[in-house]
Amino acid sequence: MSRRRRKDTEVSLFPFLSVLACVIGTLVLLLSAIAVGGMGERSLDQVRLSERFEAAQIFIAGGRALLKEYEAQLQLREDAAKDDQKLGRQLSGLGLNPNISLDELKALVQVEQEFADVSEEGRRLAAQSEELAASTLRSNDKLGELGAARLRAPILIDPSGIGPNYRPYLVECTAEYLELHRTKGDFSFRIPAIEISRSPQYKKFLRRVRAISKGLVIFMIRPEGVKTFKSAEAVAHQFKVRNAKLPLPGQGKLDFGLMQEVAQ
């Protein structure tokens, strides 16, 4: 049931109270006269007057009780009006219409509660998202560390895939240089990348490999040495030298231990 502000015109008790006060005053005077007259012998009129006096006392008592009842009702109305004004000020302070109905206020409170629940759920999901992001970042850091360690790990050169019909000659390709390795890995010679096409040492190396019937140049390519490899491969094709390529997985030091065992 909707709650409505009390704006009805209140009935004033002033006229009634004035009349009642006059009646009470008259009766008091009458009682005083009876009391004075009662000092002599009681006549029939005095008896009747005494009866009227008793009736007046009863009427006065009833009037006083009624007056108290009206005063209590008036006080209740005043308290209700004050409460209504206080509620109106509170609603205005919240930016609401002071004349809003109780049903509308209940509906608004329910909406606010639902919004608070949604906000709390949103905060919980946001916290979970932040935790997941932090966990992902930690995982990425660990993966990065593992990847960096893997790139720095020694690289074992395995000759098992070459086959017995070829004699391998190892050439390492980096971004800055071309490095010619002996099969045992105990000697190497570097040629700057920009000098590959005109390097007499590299051309001499290719002629020597070509002169060997089972000679095979194996280009070991670092991740950043693709351009160097292409330049070296082009010169090898010019000299008609057999070649193969072996991508290297990182920047680790080359391990020729297995190559040395085969050479022995």
- CA separation (Å) from 19 to 15, 22, 33, 71, 73? 6, 5, 21, 16, 19
* Alpha helices for 153-225 (secondary structure H): 200-211
User: Confidence class of residue 1 from pLDDT cuts 50, 70 and 90?
Assistant: very low
Amino acid making up residue 139: S
145 near 214, Cβ under 8 Å? no
Mean pLDDT of 4-22: 58
Q: What is the pLDDT of residue 19?
A: 66
Give the C-alpha separation, 24 to 13, whole Å.
16
Kindly report, residue by residue over 123-159, the tens digit of the pLDDT.
777 777 777 777 767 766 666 555 555 556 788 887 7
Kindly report, residue by residue over 205-217, the tens digit of the pLDDT.
999 999 998 899 9
Specify burial of residue 42 (Cβ count, 10 A radius: 0-12, 13-18, 19+): exposed
Q: What is the pLDDT of residue 40?
A: 52
pLDDT for 109 beyond 90: no
Higher pLDDT pick, 238 / 252: 238
Kindly report, residue by residue over 231-244, the tens digit of the pLDDT.
999 999 999 999 99
- CA separation (Å) from 41 to 30, 38, 47, 49, 55? 18, 7, 10, 13, 22
Give the C-alpha separation, 85 to 7, whole Å.
11
